Structure 1
Amino acid sequence: MLPITENALRGCFVNCTKGEAKRLAVPRDLAERPWPDLDFLGWRDPASRERAYLVAESGGELVGVALRVAPQANAVRRSMCSLCLTTHPGAGVSLMTARKSPQSASSVGTYICTDLACSLYLRGKKQTEPGGRLHESLTLAEKVDRTTANLAGFLHRVRE
């Protein structure tokens, strides 16, 4: 993924108003992000743990979605991210929902790594507990393609 500026981030959200996009908490470390290793930019709002944001390139443009993170019970079992297929123990995967538009009461959801670090898990730059990444015979490029296809499917459901 190419580096993104704060202005570009704020202008790409499809499911919140311009005022909401102007007020959202943008990461302060944009310049230090590992851009070559990212398939999308995702972050949690430090002021509100039930808010998260995801920005990806889709159809030649940036698409951002504001997400709500569902509260979690104390889970002792493992869960799998629907995007990157990494398994995590306990609260490592969260149900995240996105409104379809700023005025819509409809939303869509999917299970995503709670820290939104799917790209780093795929590349082995961030580790889960042992057994978090299942052994696959796919190449890294194939895993990245699968993850971006899963993400594109989610973004398509948000935008339809």
Structure 2
Amino acid sequence: MTEREIRASFVNCSKGEAGRLRLPAAFADVPWAELDFLGWRDPGAPDRGYLVVPRADRPVGVALRASQNINRSFTKTTLCSLCLTGHPGSDVSLLAARRAGAAGRQGDSVGAYMCADLACPLYLRGRKQSRLVVRYREGLPLAERVARMRGNLDAFLEKVLDGAR
């Protein structure tokens, strides 16, 4: 995807906001073949994150905000609700997205606990490792884990898009 396509994909922020958002630092080196979606956190605004998901008709981009008031334990394991990767509690964040359309303009939002770095596809493929001392191995084949993640992601996106319907 091009920078222009990514900026045009955002459904829950203004065109101006989408035009000002910072793309990932290594955007030119994004491993597109290994990604089911592009997710990143804004290094200049640590409470902001972004997801861009290729869909059948067009890519869908969602701006996210990290919750500020959650103290997560370093000693407990927390699961990402998208990819189900186990992380120390500090590596999973509650990320909220304004709903698209009128509902979002009125302040309605949806949230989910996600990998704090939004690198779910890389965790599933073993290209990135959780910082857990004891890692859990899942018996499902990669294709099924990816399909499950996509289903979880699609369910989250449907909640965001429901505000525009």
TM-score range, shorter chain: over 0.9
Where 1:66 maps in the other structure, the secondary structure is strand
Partner of 1:121: 123
| Distance in 1, Cα, partners of 2:106 & 2:36 | 28
**Aligned match for 1:73, one of 71, 78, 84:** 71
Partner of 2:48: 51
Aligned-pair CA distance for 1:57:
1.3
Tell me the amino acid that sits aligned with residue 159 of structure 1: L
> Which deviations, in whole Å up to 9, do the C-alpha atoms of 1:36-90 show, x marking residues without a partner?
1111000001111000000001233100000001124152311100000001013
Partner of 2:94: 95
Partner of 1:130: 133
Moved over 6 A (4+): none
Comparing 95-104 with 16-25, greater Cα deviation is found at 95-104
| Distance in 1, Cα, partners of 2:152 & 2:72 | 27
| Distance in 1, Cα, partners of 2:56 & 2:154 | 9
TM-score, reference length from structure 2:
0.90
Tell me the amino acid that sits aligned with residue 79 of structure 2: M
Contact 1:58 1:152 in 2 (8 A): no
TM-score, reference length from structure 1:
0.92
Partner of 2:114: 112
5+ unaligned residues in a row in structure 1: which ranges?
A: none
| Distance in 1, Cα, partners of 2:120 & 2:35 | 8
| Distance in 2, Cα, partners of 1:24 & 1:81 | 24
| Distance in 1, Cα, partners of 2:37 & 2:122 | 10
| Distance in 1, Cα, partners of 2:88 & 2:79 | 9
Q: Map 1:17-56 to 2 at 5 A.
A: 17-56=14-53
Partner of 1:146: 148
